[in-house]
A and B are shown apart, each in its own frame.
Chain A
Amino acid sequence: MIDLKRNERIQIKNGSKAEVIQKIGEGGQGAVYKVHYAREDYAMKLYFPRAIKKKNEFYSNLENNIVNGSPNESFLWPLYITEMKNGTFGYLMRLRPAGYEDFSKILTAKVQMNSDMAIINAALHLVNAFKDLHSKGYSYQDLNDGNFFINPENGDVLICDNDNVAPYGQNVGVDGKSRYIAPEVVTGKSRPNVHTDRFSLAVVLFMLFFRGHPFEGAKTASHCCLTEQLEKEYYGVHPLFCYDPKDESNRPVRGIHNNVIRLWNMYPRYIQDAFIKVFTAGIKDVNERLTEREWTNILLRYRNSTIKCSCGCYNTFEDETQAKLTCADCGTEINRPLVLTINKNKIFLYPETRLYTYQIEDSQDLFQEAGMVIINKANKSLWGLKNLSKRGWIVEYSSGEQKSVPYGGVLFLLKGTKIFFGNEYSGEIN
């Protein structure tokens, strides 16, 4: 297909014309252009005429998605659709803002995530996006390393290619990449759906944490040429998790899968178990695949118990019974700090630990910060929790003394302290 030229004008359905600024890139199904429309800049994806099989169906699905709107702000959702012309069409979406990198570049280590906390947050953002997508009755169908961007500074996620997204039980004919798609789709037994999304989500989370592929190990490495037939075998017919507790024959190979070998044991048991479940029992039984809610709980537990050593390295306490840990980087011994329990959340209170809004009020926002552990400047052994939330808190120390802590105020971290967050939420430090 011939590229559109600068200033070329494309008719938007029920609207005016979008003006081409420049080409951004192209993929398998089409090209993406920067365009100007209604006083704003957008990205326009324009399909190659051959790429879309059932054009009318695809077009009306896209229109539907536009009408229904984006499930949450992590999606570069279709906003406007062009008129069908010369057998092709396209849609407008937000441009990817600066600072967001292809996930594939993180996997190839061309780009580094800024911190372990950014990695946890990226995982949470992804899971959260899929939770909202699925709860609107959609499935994504084609999650792979080329379909989302991550901001390595803070773990923010933007998901593009939302053109295959379809209501439950439907799909518009996408064939995903074998390496990412659920086994039953690879073998052709099923079309993509919510359950296959959950499988792909686990694959992507595994790759984000362990920088390797869950089904690649000694078995796959034994083939010098990975033919399509073999891809079907290892991602579809007989996928074998590289840390399957009952079958060691596909373990990561030193020299090839170094990341997985090194990183697997750095994660707590409950995270390993989650992946084991999805990638063993969950291969055949879709109900063994973790739901987004289950992932969220696991990831929040992980974030709540991860602390930042003064050397900058993040370390995680397995649970409250663990008395101390050794920093994975500098080797410092760190005693278990005090833990603030608010309902199900157990927050390990170490300098720079964040308190989040969802922990202290009815909120779905997992990222907005409501407090932070700080060190007293004059007395470094004295730590406090700073109120960064909108409400004033009331603190009751174990002595019985009460104190109010307004926004910006600080309470001492002392055993037995109760905190009332100005609503029905309260917590206790122990």
Chain B
Amino acid sequence: MGKYDNVEGIARRTMILFFLIDTSNSMSGTKIGEVNDAIEGVIPEIKEISSSNADALIKIACLTFSTGVKWMYPNPVDVNDFKWSYVNAGGMTEMGKAFEVLNEKLSRNEFMAEVAGSYAPAIFLLSDGAPTDEYKDAIEKLKKNNWFKYALKAAVAIGDDADKDMLATFTGDEELVLTAHSPEALRKVIRFVSVTASKIGSKSSVSAQTTNAKQDDFAEQITEFNSDLIDSQNDNW
């Protein structure tokens, strides 16, 4: 009936939100249960952020690592069509392997092949332990990957056994490593980090003077959230 009958959505970039999840044996029980439930629960919110966003749409990619690594789906999935499939825990903590395959996928020949282009991704690492494999080379390589450099990165240490220094090497900033001492805290962290990363990562940048305003804004919000979290937590795992 008019000019706009066949109108498409405006050309949008894509922002991929990566979850890197430790599914080693120590994660069994409430930890992995809470991770599953919290991520599943935040997906509708991310869907909303994506659907009312004319700058970028959000896709989700999830990599689990234990003895070996596994992508939940072969390619990143539009959050609109994304279904969380429950992950189980068991095995070693081959985080080095996870860094390696992440590095492979952060390439324009792999996950970053969107026709309309992308914004830098957001990458969220969740772990309760330390790598059981050789990870140093892998993380060094990853840190040279430009997609990784520009990415919004955060990590959550689940309980006190997590290797926080290593997580800080991953995020590049210890302020971006949050610690969850209880299932409630873990749920809050997952929600806050996922939503904040989605909002900031999927929007055209602000007109500020710097060229890493998104990372700065992200760091600032995470830091503020973290100080509230520390005040409110008691140990519970």
Residues of A within 8 A of B (CB): 1-2, 28, 50, 102-105, 107-110, 112-113, 115-116, 119, 145-146, 175-181, 185-186, 188, 207, 211-213, 216, 220-221, 223-229, 231-232, 235-236, 255-259, 262-263, 266, 311-314, 328-329
Contact = CB atoms under 8 A, between A and B. Distances in A.
A108 B12 contact: yes
B53 A108 contact: yes
Interface size class of B (residues with CB under 8 A): 35 or more
B55 interface: yes
Given A186-B207, A259-B7, A224 B199 contact: no
B206 A178 contact: yes
A105 B51 contact: yes
A335 to B, nearest CB: 20
B2 A224 contact: no
B222 to A, nearest CB: 12
B234 interface: no
B120 A188 contact: no
Contacts of B4: 112-113, 116, 119, 211, 263
A345 to B, nearest CB: 24
A262 B55 CA distance: 21
Contacts of A28: 199
A175 B206 contact: yes
Contact of B116 (A221, A311, A313): A221
Interface stretch (B29-37, B64-72, B82-90, B106-114): B106-114
A179 B1 contact: no
Contacts of A259: 7-8, 10-11
20 contacts: A50-B224, A107-B54, A109-B7, A109-B10, A177-B55, A177-B206, A177-B207, A178-B205, A181-B207, A188-B209, A221-B116, A224-B108, A224-B113, A224-B117, A227-B211, A228-B211, A228-B212, A263-B4, A314-B3, A328-B2
Interface in B38-54: 51-54
A216 B214 CA distance: 21
Nearest to A267: B3
Contacts of B53: 104, 108
A73 B162 CA distance: 56
A328 B11 CA distance: 24
Contact of A105 (B52, B112, B206): B52
A107 B10 contact: yes
B118 interface: yes
> Quick one: which of A2, A115, A221, A224 has the most chain B CB within 10 A?
A224
Given A224-B108, A224-B118, A314-B2, A185 B207 contact: yes
Contacts of B3: 116, 263, 266, 313-314, 328
A225 B146 contact: yes
Pairs of residues from A and B, 8 with the lowest C-beta to C-beta distance, nearest first: A179-B204, A107-B54, A175-B206, A109-B9, A312-B1, A108-B9, A104-B54, A228-B205
